[in-house]
Amino acid sequence: MATAAATAELYLNGGSDRDGEVLERVQPAAAVAERQTTGASMMEQLVPEITTHALTYLDFPSLCRLSMTNSLMRRAANDDNAWKALYHKDFTLEQDNITPVNGWKAYYAATRAIMNVNAEFFNIIRERSLSAMGRLWLNADYVKCVHASGELFTSYNAVMESWQLAFNWDHGGGFQVRDVRARVLTEMAWVTMKTYVDMDNRLFNMSNIFEFHNGRWYMVHHHSSLLLIDGEPEQQIVQG
Amino acid sequence: MASSIENNNEKLTLKSSDGEEFLVEKHVALQSTLLQNMLDSDCSSADVIPLPKIDARTLALVLGYCKKHADASSSKQGELNSFDSEFLKDMDMGALFNLVLAANFMEIKGLLDIAAQKIADTIKDKPHQEVREIFHVENDYTPEEEAAVREENRWAFEGFP
């Protein structure tokens, strides 16, 4: 009897029961006192491990909304580990050992921004909008584009002309972009991906590079491989 | 006694924070890692195990979950899944939070997972003002702070420009 009670006490962290208070506050007393809350918020009663656990079930807009409710929620919802876990869940298991300079939430946000810009690049190709392509690229003399033909174009104007030509080719058929991986630094990001055409075994390996200027990302480099079939270059059928 | 622990019909007595005692079959109690560890560390089942952080209403729910999962552990997963979703249906947020705390404390991973998922589902896609109400969270931001926090999270609510 005594053993059981003692063991239970051990497991209960020595917490004593108080009349009428079912949920003992697990927050440090000082932190609670400092805040003078009226009407205890339920979230504050959760121990950090549970909060972190519950947060893993939230998507990024829900986490952001939670952080907008109050300062305590913000601390919980901005938790670095929660955002790291979400990053690995939503983007890639790679980059496990990096330490983002501004924390994982900022890195998640930057990565999502890059993924959006990169997706926009492919939307522009689908819509063949030269004006949108013009807004996507940085207007600079060093930007470069290597098309699937193997040709290299340098400078903003030459790159835009190359896209005009590309949009005039009747490409037909859709394509699917898969295995998109982004690495984002403060003012530069690069993305690799596979673009499948028609059938599953025909694809281009592609790389895109972006630079951050005046509050937004601009494409500065696009490089496509030749068409690959089952991972091998196509035989002499590439359009020149 | 160690020998009596081998007995499958053995029962444990759990005592809630408000003093109610629950007689529980051992195989049901084993759904809880906390209780399992206590049993493994030589606690005699004759003893009453106090759970001073869990009230009777919550403990009854927890034990209902444990019983279903203990009895059905070898049967169909689909049946358990529908039990789980029915189990939490219409549960108010206070009860749900008590359940999460109890599941965490008693180390019942399955219950912790579904209860946390349920809480997450409840606030998903709701504006932050509504989330405040659901969680009874008091807004302690000054207007300036609130604007700053809004700005900090603006990226999450807009598409590509």
Contact predicate B61/B20, CB 8 Å: no
3-class DSSP state of A196: strand
- Interface subset of B 2-41, CB within 8 angstroms of A: 17-18, 34, 37-38, 41
Tell me the per-residue pLDDT of A123-167, one tens digit each, with 9 for 90 and over. 999 999 999 999 999 999 999 999 999 999 999 999 999 999 999
User: What pLDDT sits at residue A201?
Assistant: 80
The span from the CA of B30 to the CA of B15, in Å, is 16
3-class DSSP state of A21: strand
User: For residue B97, which residues of chain A lie inside 8 Å, CB to CB?
Assistant: 23, 42, 45-46
Residue A33 pLDDT > 50: no
pTM over 0.80: no
* Phi, psi at A130, each rounded to 5°: -65, -35
The total number of residues shown for chain B amounts to 161
A189, β-bridge pairs: A184, A210
Contact state of A67 with B152 under an 8 Å Cβ cutoff:
yes
Contact state of A50 with B101 under an 8 Å Cβ cutoff:
yes
The span from the CA of A61 to the CA of B125, in Å, is 7
Cβ pairs bridging A and B (under 8 Å)? 155
Question: In which band, very low, low, confident or very high, does the pLDDT at A173 lie, cut at 50, 70 and 90?
Answer: low
Q: Which residue of B has its CA nearest to A43?
A: B135
User: For residue B135, which residues of chain A lie inside 8 Å, CB to CB?
Assistant: 41-43, 69, 73
User: For residue B37, which residues of chain A lie inside 8 Å, CB to CB?
Assistant: 11
Residue A26 pLDDT > 70: no
* Phi, psi at B92, each rounded to 5°: -75, 165
User: Which of A15, A45, A58 is facing B120, going by the closest CB pair?
Assistant: A58
- The question of ipTM being above 0.85 is answered as no
% of chain A residues with pLDDT over 70: 74
- List CB contacts of A36: < 8 A, sequence separation 6 or more: none
Radius of gyration of chain A (CA): 26
Tell me the per-residue pLDDT of A64-114, one tens digit each, with 9 for 90 and over. 998 999 888 898 889 898 899 999 999 999 999 999 999 999 999 999 999
Question: In which band, very low, low, confident or very high, does the pLDDT at B74 lie, cut at 50, 70 and 90?
Answer: low
User: For residue A41, which residues of chain B lie inside 8 Å, CB to CB?
Assistant: 135-138
The span from the CA of B13 to the CA of B24, in Å, is 6
3-class DSSP state of A32: helix
User: Which of A11, A40, A116 is facing B34, going by the closest CB pair?
Assistant: A11
Is residue B23 left, alpha or beta, with left meaning phi > 0 and alpha meaning psi from -120 to 50?
beta
Residue B28 pLDDT > 80: yes
Contact state of A57 with B48 under an 8 Å Cβ cutoff:
no
In this structure, what DSSP letter does residue B154 have? G
Contact predicate A65/B123, CB 8 Å: yes
**Interface with chain A: mutation pick from B38, B109, B155, B157, highest number of A CBs within 10 Å:** B155
Contact state of A61 with B156 under an 8 Å Cβ cutoff:
yes
Mean pLDDT estimate for chain A: 80
